[in-house]
Amino acid sequence: MRNKDGKISGLAVALALIGAILLVVGAIAFEPAMIRFENWRSFRNQVAHDQTDYNTLRRVEDQSRAMLATWHGDVAQFEAFRDSTDSHERSIANAALIRANRTASTFNNFILTNSFVWAYGVPDDIAEELPLISRQE
């Protein structure tokens, strides 16, 4: 769109400027949607990979079994010393109780967080939830 003098008209410049602005605004407006879609796709791929990846399954099972062993050891130590008349042994029992309950809480959260790994059920030797121990038992 040139005028008689061969110069570009103001209307052409205005249309080009409006088009460029619309292009920039459109890119800014749709960027979050594109990022959200890419994150969703990436997340779905990671979940599918984790559900079928043997190393992930092995890591989760090993960590679960380690926490179970720690919890059983702390509960056994608590039960061994909880009725003692010696103050040092009672403090050992109290520390074991605190460790056992912290391990149980961590274990329960870990199982909830990683439940997707066991799409076909938790293995028989791994509890689905550990109870919290109280002093009155």
* Residue-wise pLDDT tens digits, 48-88: 777 677 888 888 999 999 999 999 999 999 999 999 999 99
Whether residue 62 sits in one domain with residue 26? no
**Residue 1 predicted with pLDDT over 70:** no
Residues 58 and 46 in one domain: no
Same domain assignment for residues 136 and 91: yes
**What is the C-alpha to C-alpha distance for residues 38 and 112, in angstroms, rounded to an integer?**
26
What does the pLDDT look like over 87-107, one tens digit per residue?
999 999 999 999 999 999 999
Same structural domain, 75 and 124: yes
Percent of the chain past pLDDT 90, that is, above it, reads: 42
Q: Are 104 and 129 members of one domain?
A: yes
Same domain (yes/no): 62, 107? yes
Mean pLDDT of 20-32: 85
Q: Output the pLDDT for position 3.
A: 62
In terms of domains, do 120 and 65 share one? yes
- Residue 56: per-residue pLDDT: 81
Are 88 and 30 found together in one domain?
A: no
Give the structural domain span for 27: 1-52
19, 4: one domain: yes
Question: What pLDDT was estimated at residue 2?
Answer: 62
If pLDDT is split at 50, 70 and 90, which confidence band does 124 have? confident
42, 68: one domain: no
Of the candidates 52, 68, 88, which is a domain's last residue? 52
The answer to whether residues 103 and 123 belong to one domain is yes
Cα(129)–Cα(134) distance, integer angstroms: 16
Which residue type does 133 have? I
Answer yes or no: do 38 and 82 share one domain. no
Tally the domains of the chain.
Answer: 2
- What average pLDDT does the structure give for the chain? 87
What count of other Cβ atoms lies within 10 Å of the Cβ of residue 89?
14
pLDDT for residue 12:
79
- How far apart are alpha carbons 28 and 124 in whole angstroms? 52
pLDDT at position 105 is: 97
Give the angle 63-128-55 at the CA atoms, nearest 5°. 35
